[in-house]
Amino acid sequence: MSITEPIQPATLEQTVTTTSKRPITFPELFVVLNGCLPLAMLIYDAKHHHLGPNPISNGLHTTGLVAMLLLVATLSVSPLIKLTKWQHLFYYRRPLGLLAFLYAIAHVSIYVVYDRAWNYQEAWNEVVARRYLQFGALAVVLMLPLAITSTPFWVWCLGFRRWKSLHRLVYPASIAAVIHYFLQARAEIKLPLAMGSAVIGLLLFRVLSASRELRKKGHAPKIDEAKGSYLVDFVDEGISHYIHSDTTLLEAASQFGLNLDSDCQAGVCGTCRIQLIKGEVIMDVESGLSKDDKATNVILACQAKCRSDISIRRIDKP
Ligand code: HEM
Ligand code: FES
């Protein structure tokens, strides 16, 4: 058994190696292909002059509406996981978000290329002059960093907490998109109102569940400031190390050269489940655990941080 110096929160190269490559499943592929279908049909209809007397307006409306619907679908994923405990829904969130962004970009492109005939200056002047376009532009600007940082690589780069905070931008982006939709609607406001109610409802759900989690956290074991690091014993491998109280067990395992299985690294898929034999940990997210897991001291390595010296062991895969 080896006992060494405390291990600090992991560096990028050390942690990226723990990410497992998960093949895309048929239902996920089905969702992505279906998501691309309206755009494919729009391009086909445009090529064959089937877009009616006002093809530009038709293109703007189709892409705008699909972007809006996909944005609401993306926002619905986390609440649905919380309500149904269907963890695999997590894998639809990124494709839905990226599809929403794709349609938003197609929407803006139709505006600049066809509506304003590549005249950037005129397009910009219009955006500055019209309130509804300002909100549309704000929505796109807020969606951009989300699309860029949507990959697991960026979760590791920024650290899960910072990444999660950044991705809360999806709420202001959706609100800006709804206001844009509402302001341009003129007489027919039923659909914009429905989208607005959906976004507000989902936002409320998020606020309520966050405050519940905060209350739960109040009862969690606190960091022992005097210690700052704790001894982790991987019993089966006969390896013990001190790790920093901010380091997750997944990061620590990677630094010990133990390749634990992981996937979402967000506490929802359950791939990184391990057995806690002794000691205390805290977890920011634990949706990847079933009731049975919790009853038998199973924890998520991607979320667990030590609050005492601990002993852990891998769970044998069936
Ligand atoms: C710079 C950004 C944007 C520009 C310049 C823009 C421009 C436009 C324009 C010119 C229209 C048509 C207005 C009319 O017919 O009078 C429109 C409608 C619409 N836009 Fe945008 N938009 C932007 C961003 C967005 C974003 C990010 C979304 C959603 C995520 C969005 C969703 C919609 C919707 C839902 C409609 C109404 C479609 C319908 O009538 O069915 N837009 N936008
Ligand atoms: S890797 Fe998905 S819950 Fe830890």
Domain positions in the chain are 12-16+223-314, 51-218
Mutate-to-test residue for ligand 2 from 17, 85, 87, 269, highest number of ligand atoms within 8 A of CB: 269
Å from CA of 100 to ligand 2 middle: 25
In the block, tokens 């996920």 appear at 28
Q: Is 90 in the pocket of ligand 1 (CB under 6 A)?
A: no
Per-residue confidence of the chain (318 residues) as pLDDT tens digits? Answer: 344 444 444 443 333 333 445 677 888 899 999 999 999 999 999 999 999 999 999 999 999 999 999 999 999 998 998 888 787 888 899 999 999 999 999 999 999 999 999 999 999 999 999 999 999 999 999 999 999 999 878 877 887 678 888 999 999 999 999 999 999 997 889 999 999 999 999 999 999 988 887 776 566 555 555 567 899 998 988 888 888 888 899 888 877 778 788 877 778 888 899 999 999 999 988 888 888 999 999 999 999 999 999 999 998 654
Q: Is 144 in the pocket of ligand 1 (CB under 6 A)?
A: no
In the block, tokens 């667990």 appear at 304
Q: Is 272 in the pocket of ligand 2 (CB under 6 A)?
A: yes
Q: Is 270 in the pocket of ligand 2 (CB under 6 A)?
A: yes
Strand segments, DSSP code E, in the chain are 229-234, 239-244, 273-278, 281-282, 298-300, 305-306, 310-314
The residues, any chain, with a CB within 8 Å of residue 21's CB and separated by 6 or more, are none
Distance from C-alpha of 302 to C-alpha of 272, rounded to nearest angstrom: 6
Q: Is 136 in the pocket of ligand 2 (CB under 6 A)?
A: no
* pTM recorded for the entire structure: 0.79
Q: In what order do the strands lie in the sheet with 273-278?
A: 239-244, 229-234, 310-314, 273-278, 298-300
Pick the atom of ligand 1 nearest to 115's CA.
10
Pick the atom of ligand 1 nearest to 192's CA.
35
Q: Is 265 in the pocket of ligand 2 (CB under 6 A)?
A: yes
Residue 285 and residue 267 in contact, taking contact as beta carbons nearer than 8 Å: yes
Ligand nearest to the Cα of 302, by number = 2
Ligand nearest to the Cα of 152, by number = 2
Å from CA of 239 to ligand 2 middle: 22
Nearest to 315 by CA among 244, 218, 249: 249
Q: Is 18 in the pocket of ligand 2 (CB under 6 A)?
A: no
Q: Would you tell me which CATH number, out of the four given (3.10.20.30, 3.30.450.70, 1.20.120.790, 3.55.40.20), belongs to the domain 12-16+223-314?
A: 3.10.20.30
